[in-house]
Amino acid sequence: MFKAIVSADTLRTTIDSVGVLVDECKIHLEEDGLAIKAVDPANVGMVDLQLSNEAFESYEADGGVIGVNLDRLESIAGMASSDQLIELELDEETRKLHIKIDGLEYTLALIDPDSIRQEPDIPDLDLPATIVVEGSDIDRAVKAADMVSDHIALGVDEDENVFYIEAEGDTDNVDLKLDTDDLIDLTAGPAHSLFSLDYLKDMNKALPKNGEVTIDLGEEFPLKLHFETAEGMGEVTYMLAPRIQSD
């Protein structure tokens, strides 16, 4: 059983957070909210999303799992204006999701969850450095890096208490340094890892531009990006595997 009412804005933000990595996913309809875990086809980027039932206008569920085409769901949610309410109701027998927006009903055929790539085990890493930063700063660095390279390094300079993002191209370089005045918070530690810019660009699309993002980093370790959605009623964690450092 699943029946819920949610603002278009909250639904879209949720879908987008996962949709930047995968086209289809399983959604766990838990009693206390929605839960999604997914990994991209190359096993490089993962997402772990929780959306509390408190993010909904109304919410009833008893623990089922549905398989969803995220592009399709995104287009449907896109038909509502951001403050409009969207009603969701699962028909268990037909395995269809009824989506109502102000008199308009869209009946979405669900995907067999067993046909969707298995959900990842998100490793519980204890990373030495933690940076809390405005999403807009990551956005600036990622867009600038994209002008010169296809990979990007993130790290912490422990002597100077500085978080840096660097990209080296064939002729040009990009470099963003943020000290404790620029950052919301910094726990310095040994940290420097190289990542594929393509993945970070995708994740960046879903980061809150006017909100804070927590970055966990190590030396040649995966990156963790953590942020809240739905006014604190939702949580998203991305994990991105490092690239081998080249010299």
* Residue 139 burial by Cβ neighbours in a 10 Å radius (0-12, 13-18, 19+): middle
CB-wise, 65 or 79, nearer to its own copies?
Answer: 79
Q: CA geometry: angle at 201 spanning 198 and 207, to 5°?
A: 150
**For the chain, first and last CA: distance in Å?**
55
User: Which of the residues 24 through 53 are near its own copies (CB under 8 A)?
Assistant: none
Site for its own copies in 64-103 (CB under 8 A): 72, 75-76, 79, 103
Give the one residue of 107, 161, 180, 245 binding its own copies; rule: CB under 8 A. Answer: 107
CB of 188 to its own copies, least distance (A): 18
Instruction: Tell me whether residue 39 or residue 88 sits nearer to its own copies (CB atom).
Output: 88
By beta-carbon proximity to its own copies, the closer residue of 163 and 221 is 163
Q: How far is the CB of 63 from its own copies (least distance, A)?
A: 25
CB of 87 to its own copies, least distance (A): 13
Take residue 34 and report the two structure tokens written for it: 């929605």
Instruction: Indicate whether 105 belongs to the interface with its own copies (CB under 8 A).
Output: yes
State which of residues 182, 212, 228, 235 lies at the interface with its own copies (CB under 8 A).
182
Q: Which of 21, 25, 141, 213 binds its own copies (CB under 8 A)?
A: 141
| Contact call for residue 184 and its own copies (CB under 8 A) | no
Phi, psi of 117 (to 5 degrees): -50, 140
Closer to its own copies by CB, 106 or 120: give it: 106
Compute the distance between CA of residue 240 and CA of residue 44 in angstroms, rounded to an integer. 6
The Cβ-side half-sphere exposure at 190, using a 13 Å CA radius, reads: 3
DSSP string, 11-41: HHHHHHHHHTT-SEEEEEEETTEEEEEEE-T
Q: Largest Cα–Cα distance in the chain?
A: 62
Mode of pairing for the β-strands spanning 64-69 and 24-30: antiparallel
Interface residue list for its own copies (CB under 8 A): 72, 75-76, 79, 103-109, 137, 140-141, 143-144, 147-148, 171-178, 182
